[in-house]
Amino acid sequence: MKKTILVVGATGMLGMPVARQLHKDGYTVRVLARNPENAKAKLGDSFDYVRGDVEDLSSLENALDGCFGVHINLRGGPKPEDFDRIEHRGSANIARVAKSKGVQRISYLSGAATFEENAWFPMVKAKLQAEKALRDSGVPCTIFCATHFMESLSLAVRGNRAMIIGKQPHPLHWLAASDYAEMVSRAFELPEAANKRLYIFGPRALTMSEALRTYCSIVHPGIKVSSVPVWVLSLIGKLSFNPEVQNIAELMKFFEKVGEGGDPSEANDLLGAPATTLEQWSREQRNTA
């Protein structure tokens, strides 16, 4: 009998590859969605869908019934209190119900900048509290502290322009979501991956500017890459009363100060090192566009 894994956040940019990889590797994948009809339109007929929300304990009890594992890929914000409400307390709700339902494994997407010294930033604080809630539940968990994903580069392109927000000086080992998804799936198979906090890096370090220029040269040749100070975007967000824009500005201000951290050696030895280069990934995006 196939093991069932619930994926929370399966319709998102990073949750969707995980759901598809788990299905490819033989798991029955259950998708938690506020709107199952919309989720099915995105993901197709290969998944089981259950209506629910991480703030609704009764819906989580239904969703986790009979599950071997659960993968958590939540997106908090844009307001600081939303990070706590969704990322922290939502993960804590899942962990609590998972324990009561006899779930045997949890995996969770954290970040490579998630350290106590960075807890002044609401997103990091919420992720640290979520990690603690998972560990305190007693359910064996694998926490993936992943660096920046290649998929995020497309978000910097708007029409005929590509924009870097702020200076962004830190070299980052850009990671393909497909490589990450394979590591998540392997972690559910390996007892050795339980109760691990693993740093996940791609094969090559590039600054955000270098990565975006590489991506655009292959996927959007001819598009000019320019930059704008963080304060300009922040001002636009405040004047327009747009919390999403303000959140992006704060996030870019954080990444100006903080790069990735941790050592990926243990993750690479245990789960296999990510091998997809930015050039390879960009060519795939161009060919599927």
Asked whether the beta carbons of 157 and 223 are under 8 A apart, the reply is: yes
The whole-chain average pLDDT of the chain stands at 95
The topology (CATH level 3) of 4-147+176-200+261-274 is Rossmann fold (3.40.50)
pLDDT digits (tens, 9 = 90+) for 250-261: 999 999 999 999
Domain extents in the chain: 4-147+176-200+261-274
Predicted pLDDT at 77: 73
**Who has greater pLDDT, 4 or 239?**
4
Cα 211 from Cα 169, distance rounded (Å)? 12
* pLDDT of 1 strictly over 70: no
pLDDT digits (tens, 9 = 90+) for 64-120: 999 999 999 998 877 888 999 999 999 999 999 999 999 999 999 999 999 999 999
pLDDT digits (tens, 9 = 90+) for 201-212: 999 999 999 999
pLDDT digits (tens, 9 = 90+) for 27-53: 999 999 999 999 999 999 999 999 999
> At 146, phi and psi to the nearest 5?
-90, 145
- What mean pLDDT comes out for the span 265-272? 98
Range of lowest pLDDT (3-7, 152-156, 179-183): 152-156
b/e code 38-75 from CB counts within 10 Å (16+ = b): ebbeebeeebebbebbbeeeebbeebbeebbbbbbbbb
C-alpha dist (Å) from residue 281 to 109, 186, 276? 21, 21, 6
Show Cβ contacts of residue 76 under 8 Å, excluding neighbours closer than 6 positions. 82, 83, 84, 85, 86, 87, 88, 122, 123, 126
